[in-house]
Structure 1
Amino acid sequence: MKKWKIGTLAVLAMGIIALNLFLIEKKDSKVARTLSAGEWTKVKKANIIERFETDAVIKPLEEYNYYFNDQDKEFQKFLVKEGDVVTTGAPLFEYITPKLDQVKDELETEKSRYEGEIAGVEEYIDELSSYQDTIPDAPTAKEREAAKEAGFLLNDSDSSAMIISSIRQEIYKQELEKKKLEEKIRAYESQLNYLDEHGDTAMTASETEGIVKYVNKQLESPIVTIASNTLAIEGSLNEQQARKAEPGMKIIAKHPNEKKKINGTISAIQPFPETEPTVGSPSKYAFQATMQEEPESIMIGSKVRLSVVTAEAKGVLSLPKTAIQLEKKPSVYRLNGNGTITKQVITTGLEFAGIQEVKDGLELGNIILRDSKSIPYNKPTFITPLQTEKVRNSAFNELSKRQKLRFFLIGLLEK
């Protein structure tokens, strides 16, 4: 009799267990189930900056080569030597020619041409400044498109501040161009004044401030080379980096002996490799970047570590990439205030270093399950582990009166 009862109870127990297992595993089952949510994260605002790093060196921005054409001209003497510091308009070498009037006319013509170019650059700078003043706090899609057509490197997520920053960079480039043109004009004025003072002797003047790097006393071209005082950052990119980088992108350089970082932009990337391409050898592409402000103590030849910013999204909603299920449509598991978990489809944007931009589908402060692969079913309830290290009087005192009352009522009603 006892054996019969024991057998019956065993069969019933096994049946109950089997029924529960069936209900638990059944698709869309209504059986209440609870999940232990051990790790979670919040939707936060972040600055996501995609970048890569490379080594670079400080060099003169430009080298100016000067030539001497001995046709109808007779070389007289050099007026500078290697290592001399020269200013714009400084005489480099003298020559005599029977065609001084022709030389003077050519100098006047070139001076007038560059004055016209300066007027065009100034007009463009004024247009950029006026456009900058009209940009609203939240630019429209049409305004973004107009900025792109003007040559600015922008993404759809770029804010007004980033658009204004791009315009300022363009203004800076145009001001540099204007400075170069003004230096050329000063060089021509210096040569014209020299003709007026010396009568039968002409000279070639420096078009920049810098250091005389080379003087060829055999009069082989170029006979004088001047390195400009304006510095630049130069280096090489591998194939992958060269595909990502574009002129106009921001750079951040760090020198071991400089506390302050050097900001600037890429000004040029050579489309051809530095050396003849061969099978089995990686290709390198030379680039040059300009600096917004040159550190006073940095020297030509100094080595720097360079970060190239290829994309950025500032002040955007973000999550760790591990919290997102990357299926046909990216989704996350959101922990709700009523103790349930909901699968939420989201729209993602820029991702870098494990941080993913969230464009749509979530709000700031939403609580998301960190391990996106731990949910075997939809809309379960959840519990979280007690964090005993936070159970202390100071933590209770940090709560507001409203929070204390809320938690008290929750505990009372749960009973």
Structure 2
Amino acid sequence: MLSQWDVLNSGNLEETLQTEGMVVPAEKQPIFLDPQTPFKNFLVENGEVVEKGTPLFEYESSHQEEQLAVVDAEISRLESEKENINFYIEELVRMKANFYTIDVFSQEKPEVESQAAKAVEAASLNGLSLSLDQTIAEKELEKSNIEETIQQYETQRETIQNGMNGLTIYSPVEGTVTALSLELKNPIMSIFSKNTIVEGQLSEKQVEKVQLDMPVKLYSSKLDKKITGKVILIEELPLENAALDQPSFYRFTIEPETEDEKWRVGHHLQAKIILAEAHGVPIVSQKSVVKNGRQAFLWALTEDGTLGPLKKDPFNEDYS
């Protein structure tokens, strides 16, 4: 006779991998000095926040031919970048033109299943269309910024030709100036982007379990709440210090969905990578599970009133 039994409730389960990560800039833009052109002075300081197009440093006003060559090289680079953006925008517009609107009630006698499927498909296409519109708008803004920088260099080219001032180099991105080299060693400075990501290391065993786009939960004592994200990069090659006589580690990158205002570059975070999820599965207390070798099961009272073992593995097989 059963002396005690409970109703089997359902819930959600997660198989996770616990690791660590550190907040780092999403982009690191090195700025190089032309060693053939005499340097004049810096126009920014270490740690200064700059916008795209902010003057960074300038060359001497002499050696006009060399300065014009540098300006022309910058203009050529920006024109090429602008051309690539135009091509990308054209591809996005062409992709959007291929979308078609689905009228889920266009058939005279549509089946319920067909209506539901077409409704889901229409919602998906509408979502993709909105996403493309946003990407196109972002690229148009990026192109506009490039055109403004090109105009700055064009104006500067005329100034140099008139022999009035030296050549000024502008920031190609927005961010924070770091590693300013007073010894004028290349790169003469770097600009860290405002956006941040989280980088960590995976062991040889861990890297075999983690895949791109796996969801991640980030947390630390400095955060008021957990931040969700996903794995966006797993490097194929081990870190530079890999050696035969020690285990290898592989760098991986997490893109957070939002950034906490308390985050600083260099902050260490705990990262919980979700390897597998099971939704709406029976949840039982661990003490109720009976183990027989490598198998795990529990005794359950079935609908027909019989008592039998119930296999347990929510990630690999159904309960039976």
Asked if Structure 1 and Structure 2 have the same fold, meaning a TM-score greater than 0.5 normalized by the shorter chain, the answer is yes
Counterpart pick for 1:290 among 240, 255, 260:
255
Identify unmatched segments of 5+ residues in structure 1. Answer: 1-34, 140-158, 352-356, 362-415
Greater RCO (Cα-Cα under 8 Å, separation 6 or more)? 2
Given the superposition, is the C-alpha separation of residues 243 and 343 from structure 1 closer, same or farther in structure 2, using an over 3 Å criterion?
Answer: closer
Instruction: Return the TM-score normalized by structure 1.
Output: 0.56
1:288-310 CA distance string (max 9 Å, x none): 22222212222222221111222
Determine if the alignment matches structure 1 residue 207 to structure 2 residue 169: no
Alignment partner, residue 82 of structure 2: 115
Identity percentage over the alignment?
Answer: 21
Correspondence for 2:8 among 42, 45, 65? 42
Using the TM superposition, give the Cα deviation of residue 113 of structure 1 relative to its aligned residue in structure 2, in angstroms: 2.6
Deviation per residue, 1:195-231 (Å, 9 max, x gap): 3455443222112222211222332211122222221
Residue 47 (structure 2) pairs with residue 83 (structure 1)? yes
The answer to whether 1:52 aligns with 2:17 is yes
SS in 2 for 1:244: coil
Match of 2:156 in 1: 194
Letter paired with 2:178 = K
Which one is further off, 240-249 or 103-112? 103-112
- Aligned counterparts, 1:319-334, within 5 A: 319-320=283-284
Residue 98 of structure 1 is matched in structure 2 by 65
Letter in 1 for 2:157: L
| TM-score scaled by length of structure 2 | 0.70
- Is residue 248 of structure 1 aligned with residue 210 of structure 2? no
Alignment map for 1:69-80 (pairs within 5 Å): 69-71=34-36, 73-80=37-44
Which whole-Å CA distance do the structure 1 matches of 2:89 and 2:297 have between them?
A: 51
1:262 to 203, 227, 231: 227
Cα deviations by residue, 1:11-68 (Å, 9 ceiling, x for unpaired): xxxxxxxxxxxxxxxxxxxxxxxx5374455262x33332212121212222211112
Bigger radius of gyration among the two: 1
Task: Report what 1:399 is aligned to.
Answer: none
CA distance in 2, matches of 1:176, 1:266: 26
Which runs of structure 2 are paired with 1:60-71 in the superposition (5 Å)? 60-71=25-36
After superposition, the C-alpha distances for 1:148-167 in whole angstroms (9 at most, x for unaligned) are xxxxxxxxxxx99xx99x98
Q: Residues 278-330 of structure 1, C-alpha deviation per residue, up to 9 Å, x if partnerless?
A: 345222222222222212222222221111222334x4333558769999x99
Deviations 1:122-159 (A, max 9, x none): 4666758997x98x9x99xxxxxxxxxxxxxxxxxxx9
CA separation in 2, counterparts of 1:49 and 1:223? 47
User: Residues 8-407 of structure 1 correspond to what in structure 2 (within 5 A)?
Assistant: 36=2, 38-42=4-8, 44=10, 46-71=11-36, 73-95=37-59, 97-98=64-65, 102-122=69-89, 127=95, 178=139, 182=143, 187-197=149-159, 199=161, 200=163, 201-313=166-278, 315-320=279-284, 335-341=301-307, 350=315, 358=318
Measure the CA separation in 2 of the matches of 1:129 and 1:58: 39
State the shift of 1:81 in Å.
Answer: 2.2
Structure 2 vs 1, CA of residues 345 and 277 (structure 1 numbering), >3 Å: closer, same or farther? closer
Q: Is the 8 A contact 1:187 1:206 kept in 2?
A: no
Tell me the matched-pair count.
Answer: 292
**1:172-194 superposed Cα distances (whole Å, 9 cap, x missing partner):** x9789959955666544443343
Structure 2 unaligned residues grouped into runs of 5+: 105-112, 115-119
Question: Residue type matched to 2:80 in 1?
Answer: R
Contact 1:55 1:305 in 2 (8 A): yes
Higher normalized helix content (fraction of residues): 1
Output the CA distance in 2 between the equivalents of 1:174 and 1:214. Answer: 32
Distance of 1:259 and 1:167 partners within structure 2:
33
Residue type matched to 2:82 in 1?
A: E
Aligned partners of 1:80, 1:208: CA distance in 2, in Å?
A: 14
Structure 1: distance between partners of 2:169 and 2:272 = 41
CA drift of 1:100 comes to: 5.5
Tell me, what secondary structure is at the counterpart of 2:261? coil
8 Å Cα contact 2:242-2:249 kept in structure 1: no
Where 1:70 maps in the other structure, the secondary structure is coil
SS across alignment from 1:98: helix
